[in-house]
Amino acid sequence: MKSLEEYIKNNSKVLPGDILKVDSFLNHQLDVKLLKKIADEFKRKFKKDNVTKILTVESSGIAIATMCGYVFDCPVVFAKKSQTKNLNGSIYMAKIESYTQNRIYDVCVAKEFLSPEDRILIVDDFLANGKALNGLVDIVEVSKATLVGAGIVIEKSFQEGPEIMKKRNVRVESLAKIKSMGEQGIEFID
Amino acid sequence: MKSLEEYIKNNSKVLPGDILKVDSFLNHQLDVKLLKKIADEFKRKFKKDNVTKILTVESSGIAIATMCGYVFDCPVVFAKKSQTKNLNGSIYMAKIESYTQNRIYDVCVAKEFLSPEDRILIVDDFLANGKALNGLVDIVEVSKATLVGAGIVIEKSFQEGPEIMKKRNVRVESLAKIKSMGEQGIEFID
């Protein structure tokens, strides 16, 4: 998605530790017009897959998932990072290691919101080390729902996430694939 | 918003401790069609207020805020609950006490995303004890942006939040106002 690559070049910053700061449009301030274009592009890629539900993980996936729910005309479920008072009952859990926050946490989805009849599209802002996506794929597998694939906004193709997903036979559609980044700028895979 | 009240009656559960469980449509699974109707209703109420930015707090406000950003055609900013590696620089902070999680945490907004020229509409899923909204109002005040008001999906009118906002002269538009709730069901204010 060339327009997204241009947008990323113009609106993000590369920080030490291979961190791409996209706070101005993707995970602190949100450019909703851009999110709509992203959702439209995912719809174009997964239009034949009869998606019945969008799955993501809080917090930074929620905005993308919401626009996808609107475009795909289906409900969204976001995995929660902590069990709050009002999330009782039986849940699916997975462990996820956060790259930016440098810690491991549990994520959970209430069992009632994933059924074997569902056809799930996972969406997220980043695919880097693959830990978040891996945890979501685990949850979908245990729920016996069908995993249609994963729609990723920005893939850091030089990290291990894409390879992990390939080994698990998960179809990943990443709209911007970063080959390398640093002081010299960001280079995308064509 | 009568259709929302009906929806809440049919799809939520009242749990001990005055907790209204709306996991099936508002803060775990998301009914995006309902969110669109909610955003349309906020637009109807604030259409003359020249809103330039939607502000909320992660996580449960993000989906509502995203649909509002789409309908109002403006960017969204969500306050973050923890400072991650990639949120450097100068920030506005406020302390918020979570009713459902029973703890106090800091929320922060990068200063660059709120300017004195902005006209801010705050949106959130609940107004109960008012702590989250109060913290967001503090942040808007310090930023010198204009606070247009707050759009709330569900107000627990029997808790102190609405009164706190009244004392601060904040215009609050709540789409469903709960007078009382318990085993006997939910009663709304007309």
Give one DSSP letter per residue of B75-95, joined into a string.
-EEEEBSS--TT--S-EEEEE
**pLDDT on residue B105:** 85
pLDDT of A177 over the 60 cut:
yes
pLDDT of A99 over the 90 cut:
no
Share of chain A above pLDDT 90, in %: 85
State the pLDDT confidence band at A89, using cuts at 50, 70 and 90: low
What do you get for the CA distance between the two ends of chain A, in Å?
10
Q: How many beta-carbon contacts under 8 Å exist across A and B?
A: 132
B8 touches B154 (CB < 8 A): yes
Global ipTM: 0.95
Q: Residue A120 and residue B57: Cα distance in Å, rounded?
A: 27
**pLDDT on residue A104:** 86
Angle at A31 between CA A68 and CA B91, to 5 degrees: 125
State the pLDDT confidence band at A82, using cuts at 50, 70 and 90: confident
Give contacts of A31 with chain B, Cβ < 8 Å.
75
Least confident of A98-107, A166-175, B156-165: A98-107
What mean pLDDT comes out for the span B73-102? Answer: 80
Q: Residue B77 and residue B136: Cα distance in Å, rounded?
A: 11
pLDDT of A87 over the 60 cut:
no
A165 touches A127 (CB < 8 A): yes
Q: What is the pTM of this model?
A: 0.95
- Name the residue among B33, B85, B113 with its Cβ closest to that of A28: B113
Which residue in this structure is represented by tokens 């193709």?
A157
Share of chain B above pLDDT 90, in %: 85
Give contacts of B40 with chain A, Cβ < 8 Å.
none
What mean pLDDT comes out for the span B164-168? Answer: 98
**pLDDT on residue A152:** 98
Strands A91-98 and A76-79: unpaired
Q: Tell whether A184 lies on the interface with B, counting CB pairs under 8 A.
A: no
Q: Tell whether B181 lies on the interface with A, counting CB pairs under 8 A.
A: no
pLDDT of B86 over the 90 cut:
no
Subunit contact B62:A59, Cβ cutoff 8 A: yes
Average per-residue pLDDT for chain B: 94
What mean pLDDT comes out for the span B72-88? Answer: 80
* Chain segment A130-175, per-residue pLDDT in tens: 999 999 999 999 999 999 999 999 999 999 999 999 999 999 999 9
Helix (H, G, I), strand (E, B) or coil at A51: coil
Q: B187 pairs with which residues across the strands?
A: B180
pLDDT of B97 over the 60 cut:
yes
**pLDDT on residue A122:** 98
Q: Tell whether B34 lies on the interface with A, counting CB pairs under 8 A.
A: no
